[in-house]
Each structure stands twice: as C-alpha cells, then as structure tokens.
Amino acid sequence: MTCISTSDVWRQILDTLEIARDIVNGLEDKKAENIILLDLTSQGLKTDYTIADLFIICTGNSDRQIKALADNVREVVKILHEKLPSSVEGDTNSGWVLMDYGDIIVHIMTDEMRRYYDLEGLYRQANVLLSIQ
C-alpha cells in the first residue's frame, strides 16, 4: 500500500493551480474572451469517473484566434512547466479545441459552439474560481 503525505497532496494541488493560472494568463495575452475557471472537485462532482479537476473555458472570435490561443497555451505550459498536453482534440475549423493537461482540461471555443454545448450549464454545480469577461 502506498501512503501519500498531506504535503504531497497540497503540492499537487498548488502545482495544478499554478499551471491553471499560467494558462489563463496565456489566454489573456492573446485576447481570449469570457475566460472561466471551474473547479470540478467541488459540490460532489469529483468521482472516479471525473475526467479532470479543473476546466478552463474561453471564447475565440475566429479560427485564426483559436489557433493562436491554443498555440500560446501549449507554448506557455511547455516553457514554464515542461509539460505538453496528453491530447489535443478538435481543430480551429471545428470551432472547438480541447487540450488535456491531466488535471486541467482547456476548452477554446467559438461563441456559437460555446452556447450550443453550454459546458457552464452542464457543470453549473462547479465552483467558479475565476471569471474574466
């Protein structure tokens, strides 16, 4: 049996929040709109089947901006944390790019896709840790 210390758990939480902060800053640098950071561990949402602890959702105004946002997130996390996404789904033509960083999932969407899929509504029980209009 492996024993994980409380300090190790806190270190992992702080590391995840630091990466999330840097992702949000990278999105802001490229003028993403309506950035929201959701805590999926709250309100009983965290289960064995939960895919991540945090969702970062933002809006890009064009295919070109969505690409710039995704490229900047990849670069920021690679440089500051030496980490690449385990997967990237979608592309700029689809209107939705999803980047999987393990405990953090980044959703970069057009306004139309964001309204259609309504992730904020789907996860309305999650705590909003940050909202930048």
> Residue 52: its pLDDT value, please?
85
**62-74 pLDDT tens trace:** 999 999 999 999 9
Q: Where are the domains of the chain?
A: 32-132
pTM of the model as a whole = 0.89
* Residues in the chain, total: 133
Give me the amino acid identity at 19.
I
CA-based Rg of the chain, rounded to a whole angstrom? 15
Residue 10: what are its φ and ψ, rounded to 5°?
A: -65, -40
Give CA torsion, residues 86, 94, 110, 19, to 10 deg: 10
How much is the pLDDT for 37?
97
The three-class DSSP label of residue 34 is strand
Q: Which architecture, in CATH terms, is 32-132? A: 2-Layer Sandwich (3.30)
- 100-113 pLDDT, tens digit each: 999 999 999 999 99
- pLDDT the model gives residue 49: 52
Query: What does the pLDDT look like over 1-39, one tens digit per residue?
Result: 566 677 777 788 889 999 999 999 999 999 999 999 999
